[in-house]
Amino acid sequence: MRLLLVLLGGAIGAPLRYLTDRAVQARHDTVFPWGTFAANVTGSMILGALTGAALSGAASKDVQLFLGTGLCGALTTYSTFSYETLSLAAVGTRFLAFVNVAASVIAGLGAVFIGSAVAKAVFG
């Protein structure tokens, strides 16, 4: 049963990541990977909220597997982030590569913190 929850979450998260990337990137005429950035920060916020809910006892292990492992695991993508950062550096936009790393880490950690704080306030 738990494997099915992870599979279902992943089946939702993977196309959601793709659609998020395409929708966001279509609105920006730049080489900066805004779509991946948006998907990763969104996933970080969801995972932060899930963590806050779990710590408050409001999220069962099944919900954690479905949302955390499945959905967020497929929605967020470290490999694409790494590839896009390397690609930025390779084409001579090293500054944008640095910005991608710094902004992704700062925004991702900030999103986890905010999501967790909101969940703790709601379920706390």
Type of residue found at 69: T
Binding residues: 73, 76
d(CA 12, CA 107): 23
Q: How many CB atoms lie within 10 A of CB 106?
A: 11
Cβ neighbors of 20 (< 8 A, separation 6 or more) are 35, 38, 39, 42, 75
Residues of the binding site for Na(+): 73, 76
How many angstroms separate the CA atoms of 51 and 30, rounded? 34
Q: Give the integer Cα–Cα distance in Å for 124 and 119.
A: 7
